[in-house]
Amino acid sequence: MKSVLRVTGGRPLVGEITVRGAKNFVSKAMVASLLGTSTSVLRNVPQINDVEIVSGLLSLHGVSVESDPVAGTLTMDPSNVDLARLADIDAHAGSSRIPILLCGPLLHRLGEAFIPDLGGCRIGDRPINYHLDILREFGAHVEKHSETGIHITAPNGLEGTKYELRYPSVGATEQLLLTAVRAEGKTELRNAAIEPEIMDLIAVLQKMGALISVDTDRVIRIEGVSELSGFNHTALSDRIESASWGAAALATGGEVTVKGATQPEMMTFLNIFRKVGGDFEISDDGIRFMHPGGKLNSIVLETDVHPGFMTDWQQPLVVALTQAYGLSIVHETVYENRFGFTDALRKMGAHIQVYRECLGGTPCRFGQRNFNHSAVISGPTPLKAADITVPDLRGGFSHLIAALAAEGTSNVSGIKLINRGYEDFLGKLAALGADVEMV
Ligand SMILES: CC(=O)N[C@H]1[C@@H](OP(=O)(O)OP(=O)(O)OC[C@H]2O[C@@H](n3ccc(=O)[nH]c3=O)[C@H](O)[C@@H]2O)O[C@H](CO)[C@@H](O)[C@@H]1O
Ligand SMILES: C=C(OP(=O)(O)O)C(=O)O
């Protein structure tokens, strides 16, 4: 049965909430624990579904995971990886994108790995060609079977390599890091992704004993070592969740203090937030996001890899842009299909048109192809309540923001999807004075 949230909108979100560790880092640090010979401890871990999914994956691979959800601590002991039930990984098919990142650590420890069908948000085709190329470059054999999926082996071990990414993919950069740290010899990655979550993963690997340097111009160099220990680390804050609450404050005309939000990773978002007409105050504890009253401004925006404007910030911000004066243009350059969520916004009264062309900026990989990857938002438009269904994680949060900003009562279906990346969002909504009820 679908989970439905009844949202009565039209009142500003006001109050204070806390954001903990980043979904897109915590899951990768958990995978890194497989590389260690001793126990790892990760702190500031949020209670979200993706953490549960990766805990299940680790257990399947012989890592015992102890969780203190209130303290936000995970203790991971990899001493029984030899007992991994590799072929059972299919039970995790479709759950998240993390299983593919287990390949390097498993090849080092057991000499083989399986890749099931991956999950994650359906915001584009999301191929895994870079991942498989990288594994082959290290000397792994990749076999695709129609029944058992992808089977990877490394009968002769893994050797360092030189690789240049065609596009600075986050997952492929992580794949390379998690494989190179224990490969024989040196590895060089060109055109690497340098997202803050990747830098924190590098910090974890360095704590474990890895030798990694991040050089200028997106070049990462790794010298393989024969053994890594466990780590003790506090996860960086979730900049996507923080920005989502900021966008919610703006769209509802409210004021939300996000304890735990950190400025350095959010500078690009904060610049855009200010240009749109939002206001913020930064303290040692977090960031207070405000709608200062008056008109919001339209903007031209392009999503990009770090340090550009994150694609995962795009969907929540678009809801706030429906309340800005004039024409905003948003060019999505990271995923080819991330505007499906605007269908529901149109149903609620927003004026949004999507285009195949690269609008408002430089041409991207998706230009001249049949992908609606640019949006023109014309505002302000009052939003009215509607019955809508959550399409994906960030699109779902955007629907929630739209329902909170709209006059009347909306029914938002499939709301549980949001648990994948937003800790206790119902509790947080209640703390911010939202009128919501599960039905
Ligand atoms: C769990 C996690 O951390 N998810 C994040 C991660 O996803 P993820 O790591 O999957 O995203 P990538 O950076 O790899 O994808 C970026 C682009 O590269 C393409 N690509 C990627 C790999 C490949 O083998 N071939 C290929 O063509 C993708 O289709 C996409 O168009 O980074 C994205 C970009 O910041 C974020 O939106 C996601 O929230
Ligand atoms: C796209 C996202 O995540 P995933 O890669 O897990 O689907 C996201 O967090 O917005």
Query: In angstroms, what is the span from residue 118 Cα to ligand 2's centroid?
Result: 12
Measure the CA–CA gap between 424 and 11, rounded to whole angstroms: 20
CATH superfamily of 4-19+237-438: Enolpyruvate transferase domain (3.65.10.10)
Q: Is any atom of ligand 1 closer than 6 Å to the C-beta of 335? A: yes
Cα 437 from chain centroid (whole Å): 27
Annotated binding residues for UDP-N-acetyl-alpha-D-glucosamine: 97, 312, 334
Helix (H) or strand (E) holding 193: none
Q: Can you spell out the DSSP letters for 157-184?
A: --B--EEE-SS--HHHHHHHHHHHTTSB
Backbone angles phi and psi of 259, in degrees to 5: -70, 140
Closest-CA residue, ligand 2 atom 6, reads: 120
- Summarize the confidence of residues 85-89 as an average pLDDT: 82
Do 349 and 319 contact (CB within 8 A), yes or no? no
Cα 276 from chain centroid (whole Å): 24
Query: Which one, of 376, 378, 377, 354, lies nearest residue 366 by Cα?
Result: 354
Pairing of strands 64-68, 73-77: antiparallel
- Model pLDDT for residues 408-438, shown as the tens digit of each residue: 999 999 999 999 999 999 999 999 999 999 9
Tokens for 154?
A: 């490394």
Q: Is any atom of ligand 1 closer than 6 Å to the C-beta of 131? A: yes
Q: Is any atom of ligand 1 closer than 6 Å to the C-beta of 126? A: yes
Measure the CA–CA gap between 229 and 208, rounded to whole angstroms: 5
User: Which fold does the domain 23-234 belong to in CATH?
Assistant: UDP-n-acetylglucosamine1-carboxyvinyl-transferase; Chain (3.65.10)
What are residue 299's DSSP bridge partners? none
Q: Is the pLDDT at 148 greater than 80, yes or no?
A: no
What is the chain's Cα-based Rg?
22
pTM score? 0.97
Annotated binding residues for phosphoenolpyruvate: 23-24
Q: What residue has token string 């039970």?
A: 91
CA of 173, nearest ligand number: 1
CB neighbours (10 Å) of residue 365?
A: 14
Measure the CA–CA gap between 424 and 408, rounded to whole angstroms: 24
Tokens for 377?
A: 């938002």
Q: What angle do CA 370, 371, 375 make, to 5 degrees?
A: 130
- Model pLDDT for residues 21-67, shown as the tens digit of each residue: 999 999 999 999 999 999 999 999 999 999 999 999 999 999 999 99
Fold match between 4-19+237-438 and 23-234? yes
What are the sequence ranges of the domains in the chain? 4-19+237-438, 23-234
Confidence of residue 1 (pLDDT cuts 50, 70, 90): low
Measure the CA–CA gap between 393 and 418, rounded to whole angstroms: 5
Query: In angstroms, what is the span from residue 170 Cα to ligand 1's centroid?
Result: 5
Q: Is the pLDDT at 404 greater than 90, yes or no?
A: yes
Measure the CA–CA gap between 154 and 370, rounded to whole angstroms: 39
- Model pLDDT for residues 386-399, shown as the tens digit of each residue: 999 999 999 999 99
